[in-house]
Amino acid sequence: MKRLVLILALCAPLPAQAVEPGEILDDPIMEQRARDLSKGLRCLVCRNQSIDDSDAGLAKDLRILVRERLVEGDNDEEVLDYVVARYGEYVLLKPRFSPMTALLYLGGPLLLLIGGGLIWRQASARAAQPITTAAPLTQAERNRLHEMGIDPEA
């Protein structure tokens, strides 16, 4: 049983810790702020990985830049503004709401509303149509059914 627990513990995925010991700030509060900011910034080499989790050289440079800005006294928003000014909006894992990203945030709900409206409109139109009855059988159709042994009057 102990072996099984040990094997499972060794096989469990561990979070990547790309931050090197030389990068860590002495102040634990500022270090936590730096880590929180780093988790929201995209590694430009790895694409959909944060700079906090990436081992890429550019990610390391960005982590150091974030820590330098915090040490200089910038607040979190100023640090993000500085990084975005240098690398563009793409560096944010969660883009800010702006006219450029409005379609990104509003596109899904807008398409859902339009699709729902079209489905509702089609359903309403079908419900409003009168139910038609089938045309009566011709004499030739009745004769054919009688030859097949089917009573056309049933």
What's the confidence (pLDDT) of residue 14? 42
E strand or H helix at 38, and its extent? helix 28-39
CATH topology of domain 14-91: Helicase, Ruva Protein; domain 3 (1.10.8)
What three-state secondary structure class fits 98? coil
Is the pLDDT at 12 greater than 50? The verdict is no
What three-state secondary structure class fits 15? coil
Tell me what the mean pLDDT of segment 104-110 comes to: 88
What's the confidence (pLDDT) of residue 101? 79
Per-residue pLDDT reduced to its tens digit, 22-58: 677 778 898 999 999 999 999 988 878 999 888 888 9
Domain ranges of the chain: 14-91
CA proximity to 101, closest of 92, 153, 6, 26 = 92
Tell me what the mean pLDDT of segment 120-130 comes to: 86
Query: What is the pTM assigned to this prediction?
Result: 0.58
